[in-house]
Structure 1
Amino acid sequence: MTDEVLVDRMALPRPDVTVADAEEILLAHYSLSGTLTELGSQQDRNYRVDSDRGRYVLKICHAAYETRELEAQNAAIHHLKSRQDAPRVPNVISTNDGREIVVLTVRGQGYQVRLLEYLEGQGLTELTYLAPASVAALGALCARLAQALADFNHPGLDRSLQWDLRRAGPVAVQLLSAITDSAARDRIAKTMVMAIRRIQPLAPSLRLQAVHHDVTGDNVVGHRNARGHIVPDGVIDFGDIIRGWLVGDLAVTCASLLHQTDGDPFHVLPAVTAYQAIYPLTEEELKALWPLVVARAVILVASGEQQISVDPDNDYVRGNLAHEWAIFDAAMSVPFELMEAAILKAAGVDAAAPEASGWLPLLPDIDPAEIAYVDLGVRSPHFSAGNWLNADMDWRLLARAATENGTAATRYGEYRLSRASLGNAKEQATCALHIDICLAAGSAVAAPFAGRIGWKDQHLTLAGDSITLHLDGLDLSVEDGAEVAGGDPLGTVFGEASSLGGLRVQFCSVAGLEPPLFATPREAAAWSVLCPSPSLLLSPGADAPKPDTAGLRARRQAHLARPQKNYYAAPPQIERGWREHLFDVEGRAYLDMVNNVTILGHGHPKFAAAISAQWLRLNTNSRFHYAAITEFSERLAALSPDGLDAVFLVNSGSEANDLALRLAQAHSGARNMLCLLEAYHGWSAASDAVSTSIADNPQALTTRPDWVHAVVSPNIYRGAFRGADTAAHYLSAVTPVLEAIDASGDGLAGFICESVYGNAGGIPLPDGYLRDIYAQVRARGGVCIADEVQVGYSRLGHYFWGFEQQGVVPDIITIAKGMGNGHPLGAVITTREIAQSLEKEGAFFSSTGGSPVSCVAGMTVLDIMAEEELQENARTVGDHLKARLAALIDRHPIAGAVHGMGLYLGLEFVRDRTTLEPAMEETAAICDRLLELGVIMQPTGDHQNVLKIKPPLCLAIESADFFADMLEKVLAEGW
């Protein structure tokens, strides 16, 4: 086919075939009728047909395309149908007389018509965001498809197609004439020239075979997996199938993903890794991949602009053009060399280390072994109480170390805590690609190898044969452009005599590239190929140890009991906290919206100092006599309602609830306990017995001992009765249970429940529910236990204790979690009479529950809560956040309701607001996406469809807004 024919094709508008025309074609040739809906296409005309025989797609193509090209498409579908490991593809539907292709004329224009089965599934194009798992799945599908087509052959594959990346250069030249914006035209042209220059030397090594050449979001469908992520598994269109470069197939897929990466081209790498695992590419093909992605991006924007010029009413093309420019901009947002290194790394190809034999010392007068390397990483002992947020903190530490040791340096490859950014949706550039050396001003600096000097704005470069040395901080002794030999002096460290100076050292293997000083964690491995470590000039100690999060997790799994789970399938390694923020080993800051244990916030200096001071003085068990246990028990009693003045100190909420149950049984002389469904009270034998949450224990409803009597949960959102005034209805469901206990003659020991339905997502109990049920329990001699482990201790903002919201006073209060701010501490507060009931069973003892350190921890928490007005903060910030979350309900159908108050909130996700079908998989995926955006969040409730929002009480209003903004982003863009 000649280039002239190709040019003519490129100028074709869509076929002029109306819905009425299409209906006539369907009836005449397929005996089909139904509802027709036009589908988007660039140069075909496609209609979805909904008929009583099923769903189909009517495809109408210009006669300018050879029939054998369409025959090749059908033959490829038949070929793939015969392969068990191939993706799903549609069936080809024959006409009434057995033809697969119909040639016909509509208003004097010739067309070719086919009918395909409509392949069910969710498309990807309409999604603004694709999870890494979905990106990988698309790469895997592309590989499986190419592998299945490897032995497919047909004469129609040898065709001239504007999308054939082998012809990208000439096609671009033809298309550029349609772009009237000269600046855009020049930019596109220069970009294509750069791409072609990189492709041409590799072209002879690139394999040819039948390739689909359009595995994009428009042409695949999939399903949601158990995590709520889209997994593409079907291919719906074969219009661009050709015999072409195998790697070009993957390039098309990667390019299509770039409009769903939020401008980050590294987001496509899971597709490369997945493809390589199934159908490996050669090193030459991998090196050609990114230039081909760029070439594809050029053709997309140029073709879109050209098609609009000939078919201005094509809304499909007009809508796609913004995506295509986003693809172009993302493809060109990073150097070619960086993406090549990233792709090779993603494919498992290791880069060779630079050759450093024969290099001479950079600092001829300094022994490298005497350089002190300063730890500026996330786990550094030099950091505390947020001091790393000071802009010059790294330099202060470096200068202090140099003062003490003579010479000090930072470490290459270290993830700097000072680079972590709070409240940021994107990971920050935290990995150091350079080394800073603090040393005596005037110290000599020499060329380690021969090269040419470059000098600009106090920045020196020494360009060698294969690598360039970048230096900052010199008084230069050579001229710009000079050639120097290894060992020649370059200058001295800038600064006044007897003072300290700074020298910045960095390598770059790309000539003329000004590399960044820091890389994001995602980009660090690729940048380290282009910017190898200056330790080649100094010593191995100049390299920071690399985090091994996956290896550490494997060791954890090898020795820690399997039931002790992680948050997340691939959890970040968290090694530092500050206020409501957590930091992983790569310097990524996360907003902690789930950690109700650290009620004060992470890393509180006063809390840490108080514990440290007490531990240095004394720590022992509570049978010894010391002041702290007396003072703490007095303070807890003072916080409780009158009459609740007997305190037991324990280690956890499970232990507190276990003890409370034992007290109820000892005091009442009965064993039967009343509890609620959907509740969680702990992991010990007794506290687990009254825990009925199937999310925490899938067998909870079938394994309760006979002394546990669970009654219907008064869930005012999705329960049998809805609304705040449903107490009487729910209490009526309790009556038969109480009557059965009465009839047994065994008596009732008590009733335990959370004062606010915390485990279900912070749902308030119906008004008056506790008042009436407490009365019925007490009338039978039972004891009323308020489990305040999660909801009490100021978390609700409007109340210190959760039971205050119901206007009741329990007989026993259990608390833990926040009361120790992460230190193992719990308590049971009850009446003296109930407490003394335990003595007939013996003395009570908890080794560390009331230790001096535990008591000081508890009192310091109370002190700080008062000083920093954390209950007030929980009320004001919590109310603000609840209003922000409630506003989501108006914009996003999946948001069903906001529960709770203060800083114990729950956002419930449903698939249908009438049926309240829980959006379980979606909630899990939303939590995964929030983690990517820097927010730690987890689901709760029996259906795991409620966001468990219970952050430290120091949560700033800016952090609350960040959380709400990120949630809005996820719900708007997808997960």
Structure 2
Amino acid sequence: MSLHTLIHRSGLPSPDVNEMQALQLLEQHYGLSGPLQALGSQQDLNFRVDSAQGRFVLKICHGDYAVQELEAQHAALGFLREQGVQVPAVRPSVSGEQLLALTLNGQPVRARVLDYIDGQTLTRLKHMEPRLMAELGALCARVDQALAGFTHAGLQRTLQWDPRHAQAIIAHLLPVLAEGSRKARVEAAAAQAQQHLAPLLEHLPMQAVHLDITDDNAVWQRDAQREWQLQGVIDFGDLVHTWRIAELSVTCAALLHHAEGDPLRILPAVAAYHALNPLAAAELKALWPMIVARAAVLVLSGEQQVSVDPGNTYSRDNLAHEWEIFDVATSVPSALMEAAFLQVAGQQPEQPDLFAMQPLLPALQGQSVARVDLGVLSEHFTAGNWETPGVDQRLLGEQGTPACSLYGQFRLSQTHIDNPQEPRTCALHVELGLPAGAEVAVPFAGTWHQAEAGTGCLQGTGTSLWLSGLSEVPSDGQSLEPGQSLGKGAELLTVQLCNVAGLRPPLFAAPSQARAWQAVCPSPKALLGFDCDAEPLADPLALLERRDASFARSQKHYYQQPPQIERGWRNYLIDLQGRSYLDMLNNVAVLGHGHPRMVAESAKQWALLNTNSRFHYAAIAEFSERLLALAPEGMDRVFLVNSGTEANDLAIRLAWAASGGRDMLSVLEAYHGWSVATDAISTSIADNPQALSTRPEWVHPVTAPNTYRGVFRGADSTADYLRNVDETLARLDAEGRQVAGFICEPVYGNAGGIALPPGYLQQVYGKVRARGGVCIADEVQVGYGRLGEYFWGFEEQGVVPDIIAMAKGMGNGHPLGAVITTRRIAEALEAQGYFFSSAGGSPVSCRIGIAVLDVMAEEGLWDNARTVGGHFKARLQGLVDKHPLAGAVHGSGFYLGLELVRDPLTLEPATEETATLCNRLRELGIFMQPTGDYLNILKIKPPMCTTRESVDYFVDMVDRVLSEDL
């Protein structure tokens, strides 16, 4: 086919065939009948037919499509099926033909029927995870490997989408755009792509390719774990013999629609392709300009199709995302993408020889230059001072001269909070603290281009040098030779190299883009004459392997590939690359991370004394008095321990001693600790899958009083849940067993903070006490002001327990727990022997515990939990009203749970969706984990200093992810 014919055909509308005619065609020629569903296509007609013999696709195209081309498609389908590639088979007509030539409505058309592959495409998927991009890249590789041995005369065709003809198509279709910025951008992008491609074309291998393996033409289905699984590839209408790399360019161009504005997000597809079907260097270099050219053809073809066939909904809907593809494809320099593609293939981009250049700062040669650490672990940063504007420059100025920042360092000052985007933290430049008026010399021949005052670029051959902080600079456009003066340096000089002429690069890059940008903006070390490079960060996955090799693996970590967290501040945790994550689950750090009061109190007391509680010192008395002041009247004794597990374990021992019995009642779906005794009373199968089958005979679980998804539901279920308590106690009475006690979280913490049925604890406490038992309130998670409306969880039920066990936030991360009880119960244990906890109640622990209470009062954190927590719950309730997957909001204050369900009536838990949501939130800069026996509840327990702004950001991001296809 000639290019002229191709261009004519590219402007044709779809064939004019209605559903009735399509049904008649199917019945007459294929013996098929059944409901039809129109499927999208740009120039053909596609119908799905649901017949008694199965599902099929009727494909109708214009009659001037060459028979040989269609026969090539059918041959390729058979060829690929023989090699195990999942593609549809061709269904012959009743007369045995694979392809029919017909006339409908006076127009010649060609028709055929193919198997239908069940599933869906990912075209409208709102978020495509890297795994899916990699699978599309791998699919390209497998199809290309299979087609490498396929030949057919019908492959020698002139095709609109063949990148060999991209420039001709672009030139022909450009007039469909009105004069203006869009047309100019398309024209310029196409010209630049052609310039980059021209020297590479003769080195590109050729073969048969599908040329349309996109999110539109790969079919997927979800498995039982809600993971997308590839079912097959369809639509061989663009099959052609062309450059092999064209296949991957088409796939990558389509993926730009899912790149969320960042073209480097397509790298998993390139890496997966190369791993299966290695690409040559020329192909890797040609890939991005070919993608840009494809994007230009897409928008121009889409604009033309809409103009000639305005009723084609498929084309009209596609046009917006085709322009999105073009916008992303032209958002970064080609050199950046070329470097990234080479890097994922294990190849290094070419770099200029900087060591042959002359020194930029002759006066500094041989001098010692102070390297100023501005990274995440820098000792210069404390108590959030990195948030102060200009802090890096101030620190450089305080070192004396000369001093330098570090190229390639992830700067803490560049982090940001409550933001879904990666912060740009990697320095692509160096800042120098210099003596005022230091001479700056020309390092290589070039032309000086003035930008703004004190800033400009020395443009050489293949290398640009950007400088800021200069005075007495050359005139704009002046040619300079090595050794000439570039001007005088101010007290702070910024130096940056760039390998792309005409590009003013960013000063910082996002961590995921840093490696590629460093290839474009190399270190200026050679020009400066001293080491200004940051030490590379250790591989966090290698560190994880060391952890797994030495740290018992039953001690789990969050996420499969967790970021390495080494700093915290307020309600944020910061990784080594300077990304700040909103911490919405760390209920230990009630005051927030890195609180200066905690630093000062612990350091001061450690410098004085730290020993055990058998010694006499003031802090233990002061802290015990402070705790008793918070407890209900009548409680007058304190035990200090190290953790919630130890506190609950001691509470059980106290119950045994005070009652003379051993039998304990606990509630199902609860967690109380990991020691032998606390594990015995814990019944959460999420924490221990064998929890219900390994209870010792002294533990008697009662029905979980879960008013949302329990056996009985609603606020009026109290009596129903009490029946099981009565039955259990009656059985113990009948067996003559002494009840030791009952332990329960006053708010159902493990289930996300569900309130117990009204009056439940009051009734159970009365029944247990009537039998001589002791009532324990496990306040480890829900107490200490976290609920907002109540300081203690038991206050919501209007009861007073006999024993309060607490920990978690008491030490703001320091190991500290306590048990508060009465003198009678405490002395019952003393009658059996002494109690001692080696580090419990140490001077350091006590001072930290006192300081936590002081800061909570001074900073109004309990009030903050009540007011901001109330706003939080209301916003979460808005998600329940909006999203079917959001079933209910539990809890109050800063102890909340959002329960996800697949069905509002059956309450089928959305376990897999909850896991996906948590992982997606991490990508958006939020730490969140699931809880509950079905792991379908968001465990929302942030530091109590969390702000309204952070709450709104969290809910907005959950809303965003729930709006995606989970």
Match of 1:721 in 2: 712
Offset, 1:552: 2.1
3-state SS in 1 of match to 2:785: coil
3-state SS in 1 of match to 2:216: coil
Kindly indicate whether residue 496 of structure 2 is the aligned counterpart of residue 510 of structure 1.
no
Match of 2:469 in 1: 473
Report if the CA contact (8 A) 1:638-1:645 is conserved.
no
1:385-534 equivalence runs, <5 A: 385-402=383-400, 406-457=401-452, 458-476=454-472, 478-494=474-490, 501-534=491-524
CA displacement 1:856-889 (0-9 Å, x = unmatched): 1111111111111111111111111111111112
3-state SS in 1 of match to 2:751: coil
Report if the CA contact (8 A) 1:227-1:924 is conserved.
no
3-state SS in 1 of match to 2:898: strand
Report if the CA contact (8 A) 2:365-2:529 is conserved.
no
Report if the CA contact (8 A) 1:228-1:924 is conserved.
no
1:792-811 equivalence runs, <5 A: 792-811=783-802
Separation (CA, whole Å) in 1 of partners of 2:224 and 2:20: 42
Report if the CA contact (8 A) 1:228-1:921 is conserved.
yes
1:749-760 equivalence runs, <5 A: 749-760=740-751
Separation (CA, whole Å) in 2 of partners of 1:369 and 1:595: 48
Report if the CA contact (8 A) 1:162-1:168 is conserved.
yes
Kindly indicate whether residue 940 of structure 2 is the aligned counterpart of residue 949 of structure 1.
yes
CA displacement 1:438-491 (0-9 Å, x = unmatched): 121122222334444444432243334442222222233655444444434333
Match of 1:67 in 2: 67
Separation (CA, whole Å) in 2 of partners of 1:487 and 1:550: 46
CA displacement 1:76-108 (0-9 Å, x = unmatched): 222222224x3x222332323333222222122
Match of 2:307 in 1: 309
CA shift in 2, pair 1:49/1:522, >3 Å: same
Letter in 2 for 1:50: D
Letter in 1 for 2:633: D
Moved more, 828-837 or 69-78: 69-78
Letter in 1 for 2:3: D
CA displacement 1:158-203 (0-9 Å, x = unmatched): 2222111111111122222322354422321221111111112111
Match of 2:665 in 1: 674
Aligned length: 964
Offset, 1:369: 4.9
Separation (CA, whole Å) in 2 of partners of 1:155 and 1:664: 88
Separation (CA, whole Å) in 2 of partners of 1:636 and 1:224: 53
Q: Structure 2: any 5+ residue segments left out of the alignment?
A: none
Kindly indicate whether residue 841 of structure 2 is the aligned counterpart of residue 850 of structure 1.
yes
Offset, 1:309: 1.0
Match of 1:196 in 2: 194
**Which of 723, 728, 732 is the equivalent residue of 2:723?**
732
Separation (CA, whole Å) in 2 of partners of 1:357 and 1:871: 61
Match of 1:294 in 2: 292
3-state SS in 2 of match to 1:142: helix
Match of 1:664 in 2: 655
1:548-567 equivalence runs, <5 A: 548=538, 549-567=540-558
Report if the CA contact (8 A) 1:134-1:232 is conserved.
no
Report if the CA contact (8 A) 2:118-2:231 is conserved.
no
Match of 1:318 in 2: 316
Offset, 1:35: 1.6
3-state SS in 1 of match to 2:167: helix
Match of 1:105 in 2: 103
Report if the CA contact (8 A) 2:355-2:526 is conserved.
no
Separation (CA, whole Å) in 1 of partners of 2:560 and 2:106: 60
Report if the CA contact (8 A) 1:493-1:502 is conserved.
yes
Kindly indicate whether residue 953 of structure 2 is the aligned counterpart of residue 958 of structure 1.
no
Kindly indicate whether residue 811 of structure 2 is the aligned counterpart of residue 815 of structure 1.
no
CA shift in 2, pair 1:82/1:436, >3 Å: same
3-state SS in 2 of match to 1:365: helix
Separation (CA, whole Å) in 2 of partners of 1:460 and 1:566: 49
3-state SS in 1 of match to 2:889: strand
Separation (CA, whole Å) in 2 of partners of 1:420 and 1:669: 58
Moved more, 771-780 or 736-745: 736-745
Separation (CA, whole Å) in 1 of partners of 2:769 and 2:818: 23
CA shift in 2, pair 1:157/1:736, >3 Å: farther
TM-score normalised according to structure 2 size: 0.97
**Which of 82, 89, 103 is the equivalent residue of 2:87?**
89
Separation (CA, whole Å) in 1 of partners of 2:932 and 2:324: 40
Kindly indicate whether residue 321 of structure 2 is the aligned counterpart of residue 330 of structure 1.
no
Match of 2:925 in 1: 934
Separation (CA, whole Å) in 2 of partners of 1:283 and 1:160: 27
Offset, 1:255: 0.9
Offset, 1:401: 0.6
Match of 2:41 in 1: 41
CA shift in 2, pair 1:195/1:425, >3 Å: same
CA displacement 1:648-682 (0-9 Å, x = unmatched): 11111111111112222222222222212211111
Letter in 2 for 1:442: G
CA displacement 1:923-971 (0-9 Å, x = unmatched): 1111111111111111111111111111011111011111111111112
Report if the CA contact (8 A) 1:229-1:925 is conserved.
no
Separation (CA, whole Å) in 1 of partners of 2:956 and 2:549: 39
CA displacement 1:203-236 (0-9 Å, x = unmatched): 1111211211111111112234687553434213
3-state SS in 2 of match to 1:383: coil
Offset, 1:310: 1.1
Separation (CA, whole Å) in 2 of partners of 1:589 and 1:863: 27
Kindly indicate whether residue 513 of structure 2 is the aligned counterpart of residue 535 of structure 1.
no
3-state SS in 1 of match to 2:364: coil
CA shift in 2, pair 1:369/1:842, >3 Å: farther
Report if the CA contact (8 A) 1:34-1:52 is conserved.
yes
Separation (CA, whole Å) in 2 of partners of 1:711 and 1:147: 61
Letter in 2 for 1:674: L
Kindly indicate whether residue 885 of structure 2 is the aligned counterpart of residue 894 of structure 1.
yes
Kindly indicate whether residue 868 of structure 2 is the aligned counterpart of residue 873 of structure 1.
no
CA shift in 2, pair 1:756/1:291, >3 Å: same
**Which of 149, 154, 167 is the equivalent residue of 1:156?**
154
Match of 2:23 in 1: 23
Match of 1:908 in 2: 899
Kindly indicate whether residue 670 of structure 2 is the aligned counterpart of residue 686 of structure 1.
no
Offset, 1:349: 1.5
Separation (CA, whole Å) in 1 of partners of 2:184 and 2:440: 44
3-state SS in 1 of match to 2:519: helix
Report if the CA contact (8 A) 2:455-2:466 is conserved.
yes
Offset, 1:730: 1.6
Report if the CA contact (8 A) 1:753-1:787 is conserved.
yes
Separation (CA, whole Å) in 2 of partners of 1:22 and 1:6: 27
CA shift in 2, pair 1:353/1:798, >3 Å: same
Report if the CA contact (8 A) 1:255-1:297 is conserved.
yes
Separation (CA, whole Å) in 1 of partners of 2:481 and 2:883: 67
Letter in 1 for 2:408: G
**Which of 121, 126, 129 is the equivalent residue of 1:128?**
126
Moved more, 688-697 or 592-601: 688-697
Match of 2:733 in 1: 742
Letter in 1 for 2:368: E
Separation (CA, whole Å) in 1 of partners of 2:392 and 2:766: 63
CA shift in 2, pair 1:556/1:292, >3 Å: same
Separation (CA, whole Å) in 2 of partners of 1:789 and 1:800: 12
Letter in 2 for 1:38: A
Match of 2:250 in 1: 252
Match of 1:970 in 2: 961
3-state SS in 1 of match to 2:207: strand
Kindly indicate whether residue 611 of structure 2 is the aligned counterpart of residue 620 of structure 1.
yes
Separation (CA, whole Å) in 2 of partners of 1:949 and 1:65: 60
Match of 1:497 in 2: none
1:100-249 equivalence runs, <5 A: 100-224=98-222, 228-249=226-247
1:699-714 equivalence runs, <5 A: 699-714=690-705
Separation (CA, whole Å) in 2 of partners of 1:64 and 1:915: 56
Letter in 2 for 1:869: G
Letter in 1 for 2:219: V
